[in-house]
Chains A and B, each alone.
Chain A
């Protein structure tokens, strides 16, 4: 995909509809709700806002009263307004960082009040769809890059490329920029980037006399899926032979509701899509496995049920059939010291550094299949397409994403920054194995399968993964799932 710039045709993305409730939006919202999915409907005609003029934006850039980061839109209004920002709840010390930032913003722009709404993480997308369906959404909402196609198709998010400097957009990791863009528009502002790492408990490996995973900085230098399973099998057998019946080689997933099928996007799809190959012939099943869904995003058959995908799921299944991982949700195994390996993101490291657990730990890349694969599905604030204050909302997002605020957020929360200059500016990303590996994983990540119906896909595949973990035949289960997903995606045609 070519990188959109501020000089791109703004009309391509600025397709906001009139405000107020109408039948179409009501039906769209209700249908989406009933389907458990985001977004119905196509972009509606008629622009409610106008894109900032390029020249005016450039002129205004020097006159902002605050470091608005990559913002390049018009000067902010002097009228009293309230900007609403809906995001997930964070622990108090992370909230404090954001609240401090709002204070700074309000000091520079006292006429702009920022009103936050904090929502449990699992309810963010549901709440967004209700807001959008009812025609009254917050100006800024915490979205996810895996739903960007949906935000575009449902005319939920405002294209942001015209509000940001080109240099700022170019500074974003290429794969994240791609994940946050749809049909030539950039929708999801940079916030953080996710990738899955393999954390391991060094003490457990030592106790069992099994070599630890390679502590490398190259995502291609870790264990293969087969090596991983073999090592965990050996570890389990040796632990059991020593009379240790409580320690698991792989701790239960802690994403979502936990256990198998917890989060296909960030966990289980890695087993499947790593068996694909983005460089293979476009008609090959390896290429289709990598994509996960057809180019138009509306067909899973032939993409989710390929021989490669079946192999990936069969590997995953071995984790449970060989009793390497608990077949159900179990909280806190790794941090409690009874899980030898745990898959999760970088902010786990931040927590471990603070917590100083009673064991030594290390990190290694996620096991690779045909390729080393990681899904970069991440949180990203979006601006509501029908906000009455597009420039101010975009400016707020840009401000929260400026260097100082992102570094503060990284130091407090520990998730991976998404801009190359920030990664380069933080010393540990250049000189410590864990962080060097993180930088490599972040740079090589791939987006979730591109589909307007990713929410349907995601909800349909998670229980299938659970069934496979509990002994279902991977081939037939994936075929059934693909057929079912095709049916779910039909409504977007």
Chain B
């Protein structure tokens, strides 16, 4: 009996050790995978940042064969940034992008919040049909409606205005769906209690509903900002005034000179416009995940 007890006693720590080892191994493996994935995703961005510190001629001459000089600026220079923020006036393009992105975020948040709440809580004829049509609209790509969209914008007299950059995207089916799902997660009893206390719809929306969907709002802000920041096709079409053109189009312009590489300024510009996105992603990532979870989309 004592032998059996002793064997059992010694087996327990072994099992615990074994479980701990397995857990450690799994965590280690997970960490390694995450680090590798991080490196893979970060590499192009980091390389662009490094290349932005090399003169175009050095980028070309160091490109092949691959060596230390291919990755490290042996003769670091800020001339690309001087070009980008000097003759190319890229700061103006960044400002334009910021205006467009801010406008789109504000418009999309306001519209999605109001429409999402209406679809989630208000009762009106044809509500579900309208919502279905809205979702269907999200399957139509911008490319397919470019000509009519341009015609309408022109008819409104908005060509080459900042408003034209974001107005067509104010009604965002994804945003409305996200907010609708988030509002539906709030217990109805909360709103009924407020209604019994005499609160009207607006009061309920601003005092009860919105404070409960802040993570979803953060998600919406982040996603809309990324979409607007990376927009290309619509700004190329609608913006004819070079002074109001956005950064992404300005970058594409730098790449479109045959036999005249401007790789240095191009990498500098790409680095600069990546920074805001990286910062936003770092600070808003926890809201982003929580927002998707609370809206039932994750």
Contacts of A91 in B (CB 8 A): 257, 260, 262
Is A335 a contact partner of B236 (Cβ separation < 8 A)? no
Q: How far is the CB of A434 from chain B (nearest CB, A)?
A: 14
Binds B, one of A144-152, A200-208, A347-355, A366-374: A347-355
Q: Are B60 and A335 in contact (CB under 8 A)?
A: yes
Q: Which B residues touch A130, using CB under 8 A?
A: 146-147, 150, 237
Could you tell me if B151 and A135 are in contact, using CB atoms closer than 8 angstroms? yes
9 smallest beta-carbon distances between A and B, as pairs: A89-B253, A121-B256, A120-B252, A246-B65, A338-B64, A134-B151, A133-B147, A348-B259, A117-B240
Partner-contacting stretch, out of A26-34, A42-50, A466-474: A26-34
**Chain A residues within an 8 Å CB radius of B258:** 121, 254-255, 344-345, 347
Residues of B contacting A118 in the complex (Cβ-Cβ under 8 angstroms): 242, 253
Within 8 A of A (CB), among B107-139: none
21 pairs of residues in contact across A and B, judged by CB atoms under 8 Å: A26-B151, A33-B146, A33-B147, A89-B256, A90-B257, A119-B253, A120-B249, A120-B252, A120-B255, A121-B256, A121-B257, A130-B146, A134-B154, A246-B64, A331-B261, A332-B263, A335-B261, A336-B60, A348-B259, A350-B259, A351-B259
**A212 CA to B90 CA in the complex, in Å?**
44
Q: Which residues of A contact B (CB under 8 A)?
A: 21, 26, 29-30, 33-34, 84, 86, 88-92, 115-123, 127, 130-131, 133-136, 138, 246, 254-255, 331-333, 335-338, 344-345, 347-348, 350-351, 355, 358
B64 pairs with A336, CB closer than 8 A: yes
Chain B: CB-nearest residue to A117: B240
Partner of A26, one of B65, B143, B148: B148
- Which residues of chain B are within 8 angstroms of A135 by Cβ–Cβ distance? 151
Q: How far is the CB of A87 from chain B (nearest CB, A)?
A: 11
With A26-B147, A29-B147 given, is the CB distance from A120 to B63 under 8 Å?
A: no
Tell whether B282 is near chain A: CB-to-CB under 8 Å.
no
CA gap between A123 and B253 in the complex, in Å:
10
Of listed A115, A332, A333, A355, residue having the most chain B CB within 10 A: A332
B61 to chain A, nearest CB (A): 6
Task: List chain B residues, Cβ under 8 A from A355.
Answer: 57
Q: How large is the interface on B (under 10, 10 to 19, 20 to 34, 35 or more residues)?
A: 35 or more
User: What distance in Å separates the Cβ of A346 from its nearest Cβ neighbour in chain B?
Assistant: 9
- Extra inter-chain contacts (5) besides given A344-B258, A345-B258, CB under 8 Å: A117-B242, A120-B256, A332-B60, A332-B63, A332-B263
* B-chain residues with CB within 8 Å of residue A88 when the two chains form the complex: 256
B87 at the interface (CB under 8 A from A): yes
B148/A30 in contact, CB under 8 A: yes
A92 touches B64 (CB 8 A): no
- Asked if residues B61 and A336 are in contact (CB atoms below 8 Å), the reply is yes
State the majority secondary structure of interface residues on B. helix
By the criterion CB–CB under 8 Å, are B147 and A134 in contact? yes
Closest chain A residue, CB of each to CB of B87: A92
B88 at the interface (CB under 8 A from A): yes
Chain B residues whose C-beta falls within 8 Å of the C-beta of A344 in the assembled complex: 258-259
Q: Which residues of B contact A358 (CB under 8 A)?
A: 61
Binary CB contact string for chain B from 154 to 178 against chain A (1 if under 8 A, 0 otherwise): 1100010000000000000000000
* Cβ contact within 8 Å between B259 and A347: yes
Any chain A CB within 8 A of the CB of B144?
Answer: yes
Q: Which residues of A contact B57 (CB under 8 A)?
A: 355
- Give the distance in Å from the alpha carbon of A91 to the alpha carbon of B257 in the complex: 7
Tell me the minimal C-beta distance from A182 to chain B in angstroms: 24
Interface centre among A26, A90, A118 (most CB of B within 10 A): A118
Interchain CA distance A115-B239 in the complex, whole Å: 13
Which residues on the A side are within 8 Å of B236 (C-beta)? 119-120, 123, 127
Bound: A86/B242 CA distance, A: 11
Bound CA–CA A273/B82 (angstroms): 46
How many Å from the CB of B168 to the closest CB on chain A? Answer: 14
Q: Which residue of A lies closest to B62 (CB)?
A: A336
Q: Which residues of B contact A134 (CB under 8 A)?
A: 147, 150-151, 154
> Are B144 and A34 in touch, CB under 8 angstroms?
yes
Contacts of A119 in B (CB 8 A): 236, 253
In B224-276, the 8 Å CB interface with A consists of 236-237, 240-242, 249, 252-263
Query: Is B261 touching A89 in the complex (CB atoms < 8 A)?
Result: no
- Residues 188-199 of B, flagged 1 when their CB comes within 8 A of A and 0 if not, give 000000000000
Q: Are A30 and B147 in contact (CB under 8 A)?
A: yes
Cα-based distance from A302 to B284 in the complex (angstroms): 60
Shortest Cβ distance from A89 into B: residue = B253
Distance A234 CA – B242 CA, assembled complex (angstroms)? 50
A350 vs B257: C-alpha distance when bound (angstroms):
13
B 35-69 contacts with A by CB, 8 A: 57, 59-61, 63-65
Residues on B with beta carbons closer than 8 Å to the beta carbon of A331: 63, 261
A335 to B56, CA, bound (A): 11
Complex CA–CA separation, A119 to B256 (angstroms)? 9
- In the bound complex, CA of A34 to CA of B60 (Å): 38
- The CA-CA distance from A455 to B242 in the complex, in Å, is 28
Q: Which residue of B lies closest to A116 (CB)?
A: B242
Complex Cα gap A127–B150 (Å): 11
